[in-house]
């Protein structure tokens, strides 16, 4: 994976995104949603449920081209309506559901995502994620926590330049979720992908991110861009209550503890 120059830089400029509604007409979900992610940074996008965060991720991934604006991926620019063009950058995603193929084993699911000729150290990756004994298991044999680990393995196996995560730890108990946050942080620090993670959990965002993008309004846009002032070393042990209180007071419509 190259990190030279601005290779991993991601620029998002969604002027407008709407949806047609059954009763006729349309509803505008996003307007002037714009931000830039620098190489190797970890950013969390926070906002109320249903405000358009997942829609923005789908646009960045190229899964939705029915919008006005443009996405500048590493070494390429994709206008609305363009075919998916990534300029050689590797983009991986982890969704709320693990999305593992049920007829494939864990290792087979991971290998399906690999680019031709890629030879990642899957032994080390599975060891880091505690999946050594799960390689030959099928998704139906996994707990939700283990399935989420397999989804992380699939994403990091491609050594992505950009990693997009959509509420990857939702519906997990806090102990399991925190374990997975630590694993995600370990893998990110090893590979240094540019990460954009959607979450409604502000404590989780402050635990992981260098920067918070606060999304709100109708239609939604970025209403706040805040650096996390806590040292990354020992982040989970620092008292962030003062910072969280300030966020809630400054952005009451967007941030809830």
pLDDT digits (tens, 9 = 90+) for 56-100: 999 999 999 999 999 988 764 445 555 444 456 789 999 999 999
Mean pLDDT confidence for 180-199: 94
Is 112 within the bounds of a domain? yes
Split into its structural domains, the chain has a count of 1
Is 132 within the bounds of a domain? yes
Is 51 within the bounds of a domain? no
Is 90 within the bounds of a domain? no
Is 113 within the bounds of a domain? yes
- Determine the pLDDT at residue 78: 47
Cα dist from 99 to 94, 103, 176, 236, whole Å: 9, 12, 19, 29
Is 34 within the bounds of a domain? no
Is 110 within the bounds of a domain? yes
| Banded pLDDT at 50 (limits 50, 70, 90) | confident
pTM of the model: 0.88
Residues of the domain holding 127: 100-155
Q: Which of 30-34, 147-151, 235-239 has the lowest mean pLDDT?
A: 235-239
Phi-psi region of 5 (alpha: psi -120 to 50; beta: other; left: phi over 0): left
Is 236 within the bounds of a domain? no
Cβ atoms 43, 211 nearer than 8 A? yes
pLDDT tens profile 132-163: 999 999 999 999 999 999 999 999 999 999 99
């Amino acid at each position: 994976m190259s990190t030279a120059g601005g290779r991993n830089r991601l620029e998002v400029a969604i002027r407008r995104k709407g949806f047609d509604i059954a009763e006729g007409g349309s509803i505008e979900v996003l307007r002037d949603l714009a931000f830039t992610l620098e190489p190797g940074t970890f950013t969390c996008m926070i906002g109320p449920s249903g405000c358009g965060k997942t829609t923005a991720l789908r646009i960045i991934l190229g899964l939705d081209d029915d919008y006005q604006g443009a996405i500048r991926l590493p070494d390429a620019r994709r206008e609305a309506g363009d075919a998916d063009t990534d300029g050689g950058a590797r983009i991986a995603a982890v969704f709320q559901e693990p999305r593992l193929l049920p007829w494939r084993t864990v290792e087979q699911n991971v290998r399906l995502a690999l680019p031709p000729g890629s030879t990642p150290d899957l032994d080390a990756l599975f060891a880091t994620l505690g999946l050594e004994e799960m390689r030959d298991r099928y998704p139906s044999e996994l707990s939700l926590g283990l399935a989420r680990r397999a989804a992380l393995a699939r994403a990091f196996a491609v050594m992505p330049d950009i990693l997009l995560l959509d509420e990857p730890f939702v519906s997990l108990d806090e102990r399991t979720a925190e374990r997975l946050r630590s694993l995600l942080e370990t893998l990110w620090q090893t590979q240094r992908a540019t990460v954009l993670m959607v979450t409604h959990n502000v404590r989780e965002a402050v635990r992981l991110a260098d920067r918070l993008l606060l999304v709100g309004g109708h239609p939604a846009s970025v209403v706040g861009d805040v650096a996390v002032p806590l040292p990354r070393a020992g982040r989970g042990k620092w008292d962030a209550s003062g910072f969280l209180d300030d966020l809630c007071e400054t952005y009451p419509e967007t941030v809830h503890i």
